[in-house]
Amino acid sequence: MADKPTHRSGAPWRNMYGRTKGNKLRASQQEWLAEDLADLSVGAVGWEINPERQQFEIKKLLGDRPLWLEVGFGGGEHLVHQAEGNPNVGFIGCEPYINGVAMLLGKIRKLNQDNIRIHPGDVRDLFDVLPEASVERTFLLYPDPKHEFTWRCKGAQDWREPWGDWISTRYEQKALREGRVPHYLTFERI
C-alpha cells in the first residue's frame, strides 16, 4: 500500500473546498486582522508552527468555561449571537476564509465580553491539537457532518423549525432567496 500524500509541512494531505480569500479587504478589515487576530487566535494549530501536534490548554485560553465550537462561521453572525447569549461559555470559531475572519473581528470589537477565540484555518488541524472530549457543543452550519452522529429527531417539527436561540445568517437568507428550504438538525455524537 502506498503512503498517503502529505503537505510540505508534514501534515496529512487534506483537500480544501471553497475559497480562503475573496474580494479585496477594506482598510478597516485589514486593520482588524493586523491589530486583533493575534490576541484572539487559539495559538499554535498549524502544522508549520506545531509539527509535533502538541495539544493546547483550553483553560489558558478560555478559563473554566465549557467549550463550544463553530465550524465555518462565515461572517460570524451566529457565533457572535451565541457568544452574547451565553457569556459563561467559551467559543472557538474556525474559518479558513480570511474575509469572514475579518468580518468577525469587526463584530467582536463591538462586544463587551471576551469569550470568543478564532482559528483562521481548517478545523481539521484544530482537531489534532484539541484535548479529547473537550468540546461540549459544536455548530456546523451549511453543511452538516452525518458521520458517527445520531440524529435527535422525534418528529417533523424537530427539523422544520429553528432552535429557540437561532439567528438567521446571511447564508440562510441566501438559501431562502434561492428557494431552498433549510433544515434544522440536531446531532449527538455516538
Q: Mean per-residue pLDDT for 142-153?
A: 64
Q: Determine the Cα–Cα distance for residues 3 and 39; give it in Å rounded to an integer.
A: 38
Q: Determine the Cα–Cα distance for residues 144 and 150; give it in Å rounded to an integer.
A: 12
**Helical H segments across the chain, by residue range:** 27-40, 58-62, 77-85, 98-110, 123-129, 157-160, 170-177
The more confidently predicted of residues 142 and 16 is 142
Q: How many other C-beta atoms are found inside a 10 Å radius of the C-beta of residue 187?
A: 17
Q: What is the pLDDT of residue 155?
A: 77
Amino acid (one-letter) located at 165 = D
Q: How many other C-beta atoms are found inside a 10 Å radius of the C-beta of residue 12?
A: 12
Where are the domain boundaries for CATH 3.40.50.150 in the chain?
A: 16-42+58-141
Active site residue 144: yes
Chain-wide mean pLDDT for the chain? 84
> Residues 41-94: pLDDT tens digits?
999 888 888 888 899 888 988 999 999 999 999 899 999 999 999 999 999 999
**Cell numbers at residue 183, please?**
433544515
Catalytic residue among 114, 128, 144, 158: 144
CATH architecture of the domain covering 16-42+58-141: 3-Layer(aba) Sandwich (3.40)
Q: Determine the Cα–Cα distance for residues 110 and 97; give it in Å rounded to an integer.
A: 21
> Residues 1-47: pLDDT tens digits?
456 655 556 666 555 555 556 678 999 999 999 999 999 999 988 88
